[in-house]
Amino acid sequence: MDTNFATLNIDRPQAHVMLVTLNRPASANAMNSQLGTEIMTLFESLNLDAGDARCIVVTGAGDRAFCAGADLKERKDMTDEAWTKQHLIYERMVRAILGCPIPIIAAVSGAAYAGGCELALACDFIYAAEHSRFALTEVTLGIMPGAGGTQTLARAAGERRAKEIILTGKPFTAAEALQWGLVNHVLPRTDLLPEALSTAEVIARNAPISVRQAKQAIARGLNMSLSDGLVLETEAYYRTIPTEDRREGITSFNEKRSPIFRGK
């Protein structure tokens, strides 16, 4: 998989962990067409072949912003046709993130506004630095969230809170995001990335087939009735039984040693 991008930095800080950094710090990591295309390309590639990656951390360069939303300077003189074509990129981008079988952690430091907030919400869960602020400001600009925000926010925070956040466009703090269920942990900015990477390392040490099946069962099951979700869970569970990792997990437990999972 080609990881040579102009607006993304791809690092491998630990075994089986991929660190993806949005790298437009001079523009508060705002989402232009190139950044959207590169995120889309990366995650579509990961959906086809993840290689040895077992967990991904997504963050932004610098502490000013995770992602300040769409690059409005680029959009200033766009025609309706050009705007629509650009939005198709963002649609594919968010679907590729949501469809990624590998767990994704957003490490948010600074502003996560509009499309930047939607990008974080598309990840499996979020760690945020104490100074971070979130907002879905689209209605203040004559548009509305269009990269999954109306769906992912409502699922994270509930219908009434999502309506308040989206219909007012008002920013909110990391502490409020924690209280409302949008983020999992709020940390000092110096601890943010180390903690996100530490969690990614824990996930990456677990059996990758088990992790992927569990992620899929949770994500898909939320859109089903309880009885249908239980059927989905059972089917996902049965796919782990014939794996080498299942046998390794039980053997290592009985031999009182750490398991060595190979994703097979």
- Catalytic residue annotation: 70, 115, 118, 138
CA angle centred on 11, ends 9 and 12, rounded to 5°: 165
Task: Give exposure, 238-252, as e/b (b: 16+ Cβ within 10 Å).
Answer: eebeebebbebbeee
- Amino acid at site 253: F
For the chain, the distance separating the N- and C-terminal CA atoms, rounded to the nearest angstrom, is 21
Nearest 5°: phi and psi at 31?
-85, 105
CB pairs under 8 A, 24+ apart, for 73-81? 73/27, 74/32, 74/33
Could you give the CA distance from residue 148 to residue 203 in angstroms, rounded to a whole number?
Answer: 25
Could you give the CA distance from residue 137 to residue 15 in angstroms, rounded to a whole number?
Answer: 38
**Complete DSSP assignment for 211-241:** HHHHHHHHHHHTTS-HHHHHHHHHHHHHTTT
Could you give the CA distance from residue 172 to residue 128 in angstroms, rounded to a whole number?
Answer: 12
